[in-house]
Amino acid sequence: MLEKLLFLTRRSLLGGLLLIGVLLAPVFTHSAAAQGFSVYEHGTCATGRAGATVASTCDDGSAVFYNPAGIVNRTGLTLSIGTTVIAPFGEFTDNQSGRASELQNDPSFVPHVYATYGFNERFAAGLGVYVPYGLGTQWPLDFDGRFLGFDNSLQSIYVQPTVAYRITEQLSVGAGFTYVIAGVELNRRLDLSQQTVPGAGLTFQQLGVPLRTDFAEAKISASGATGFGGHFGVQFKATDRVSLGARYLLPVKIEYEGDAEFEQIPTGLSLPQNPALGPLAGTPIDAVLLGSGIFGTGGALGAQSGTTEITMPAQFVAGASFQATNSLALFADYQWSGWSTFDEIVVDLENAPDLEQYEGYSDTHAIRLGAEYALNDAWKVRGGFLTHGAAAPDETVTPLLPEASRVEFTIGLGWQPVPSVEINAAYQYLHQSDRDGRIVDAAPGQRPTTALNSGVYSFGANIVAATVTVRL
């Protein structure tokens, strides 16, 4: 009887675990700070402008990401290395109890490294390493959403060789090849309390097992997923003061393979003296599970593997810059991200039927506005503002990333002590609108609905970035 029960539940438990761990790997970094699950802070100068830089890229190699055409704007060698530190904060407040569970994330470090070389005024090449997609969320173990995930970390690293060519004095183009490396770890508790006992017509909860009882802990880990794509950019100098630019980052298909490990958690509970349970009536649940072999090799909650394919979203950005005075420059970008590719994911499991999970993301749109003012030859100050909508629909807002529409404010400072060295620093404040969300899965075979939403997620972040650039 117990084996039949666990066969029925492994689609919703094991399958759901492996699916979430596998499908999110390429679309998160340690802390999300932009649309959907992406990070946009890959250069400190650009961060100070709120990322508005596609028409007039910063002179620090970050054009590899912000617009490949921009690397042709300087001759000689430029080396940049930096990091963005993202310190998120947030909580989930239950609608009924009013209880608040707070995020416990440590600050995350998102690195960026660039090297560009201008052979002459018309041709340049470069290499960049950045982390545009990922996630990190950590919740306390007494959080009711721990059955969707309580300690999750994911990353995707882009390595991008790039070339650029100036066709005319006004027009430059660039292109890069993107090689993606992804990894993931997801930790989640398992709860059987709402599963139906075969032949009895009753759930474990109806038989006395409390809702949200921890039966086991699952650890999902995977690494070595790779994918390939491309990145294209163009810049056009319309007048001495006005420049236009655009870039397009291709979507990337990732083939992912993951493994799941399970550890039984003692409940200290026994099945009730109910005739519907037959000989299992009164048996300690822990002993029944331990003796069933379900945690051993080949068991329903034994070691499992699975594969899936997902497509990381494309990005399109277009913008303009205006040199208002000799000292003041203004920037404006529009960004589109193709999150609608993150719709329904199919996972092929080793010991269970293929399963599907609905995410239903929508494409997102953002506006970025920035300014830069040169105080003198050595110092520049920057500021910016950006706003964008949410990618996740109301029914798929979960503890993995409680995403919603956001507004963000930035300030930055650049110091060039000598012509060959530049040091940039920036601060960004992320404010996210509160949003209703859920902490439980939908029933097996059903899509989630807003009826499952039971509380409000609040989220925000403090973001600090620093980059050192050397020009030779």
Q: What is the DSSP string of 349-402?
A: ESSS--EEEE-----EEEEEEEEEEESSSSEEEEEEEEEE--SS-GGG-BTTB-
Domain 2-471 belongs to what topology? Answer: Porin (2.40.160)
Selection from 288, 182, 262 nearest residue 226 by Cα:
182
Sign, CA dihedral 15-399-463-50, equals positive
**CA distance linking residue 306 with residue 304, whole number of Å:** 7
**CA distance linking residue 428 with residue 280, whole number of Å:** 58
Range scoring the smallest mean pLDDT among 132-141, 265-274, 297-306, 359-368: 297-306
Counting residues of the chain whose pLDDT is more than 90, the rounded percentage is: 54
Give all strands (DSSP E) within 62-203, no chain letters.
76-94, 100-102, 108-118, 123-138, 151-166, 171-190, 196-197, 202-203
Range scoring the smallest mean pLDDT among 74-78, 128-132, 257-261, 263-267: 257-261
Q: pLDDT: is 319 or 400 the higher one?
A: 319
Of 47-51, 295-299, 345-349, the range with the highest mean pLDDT is 47-51
Q: Would you place residue 317 in the very low, low, confident or very high pLDDT band (cuts 50, 70, 90)?
A: very high
pLDDT value at residue 168: 95
Give the type of residue at 261.
E
CB atoms within 10 A of CB 78: 26
* Three-class secondary structure of residue 280 per DSSP: helix
Contact partners, residue 60, CB within 8 Å, separation at least 6: 43, 44, 45, 78, 80, 114, 422, 424, 467, 469
Q: Which residue has the tokens 């969707």?
A: 148
The mean per-residue pLDDT over the stretch 150-174 comes to: 92
pLDDT value at residue 17: 33
Q: Would you place residue 351 in the very low, low, confident or very high pLDDT band (cuts 50, 70, 90)?
A: low
- Does 27 have pLDDT greater than 80? no
Alpha carbon separation from 312 to 46, 127, 317, 372 (Å, rounded): 23, 21, 16, 32
pLDDT value at residue 332: 98
Instruction: Tell me how far the alpha carbon of residue 362 is from its chain's centroid.
Output: 15
pLDDT value at residue 163: 97
pLDDT value at residue 42: 93
Alpha carbon separation from 4 to 22, 266, 300, 358 (Å, rounded): 26, 21, 10, 26
The mean per-residue pLDDT over the stretch 381-395 comes to: 94
Q: Would you place residue 316 in the very low, low, confident or very high pLDDT band (cuts 50, 70, 90)?
A: very high
pLDDT tens digits, one per residue of 180-234: 998 777 888 888 777 665 445 667 777 777 888 888 888 777 778 889 999 999 9
The mean per-residue pLDDT over the stretch 50-79 comes to: 95
**CA distance linking residue 471 with residue 78, whole number of Å:** 4
pLDDT value at residue 52: 97
**CA distance linking residue 111 with residue 465, whole number of Å:** 9
**CA distance linking residue 368 with residue 388, whole number of Å:** 9
Contact 196, 203 (CB under 8 A): yes
Contact 137, 102 (CB under 8 A): no
**CA distance linking residue 242 with residue 322, whole number of Å:** 5
Across all residues in the chain, what is the average pLDDT?
Answer: 84
Q: pLDDT: is 172 or 195 the higher one?
A: 172
- Cα-atom radius of gyration of the chain, to the nearest Å? 25
* Three-class secondary structure of residue 7 per DSSP: helix
**CA distance linking residue 415 with residue 463, whole number of Å:** 20
Q: Which two tokens stand for residue 381?
A: 């100050």
Q: pLDDT: is 315 or 354 the higher one?
A: 315
Q: Would you place residue 353 in the very low, low, confident or very high pLDDT band (cuts 50, 70, 90)?
A: low
**CA distance linking residue 125 with residue 115, whole number of Å:** 9
**CA distance linking residue 115 with residue 143, whole number of Å:** 44
Q: pLDDT: is 120 or 203 the higher one?
A: 120
- Does 16 have pLDDT greater than 80? no
The mean per-residue pLDDT over the stretch 113-125 comes to: 95
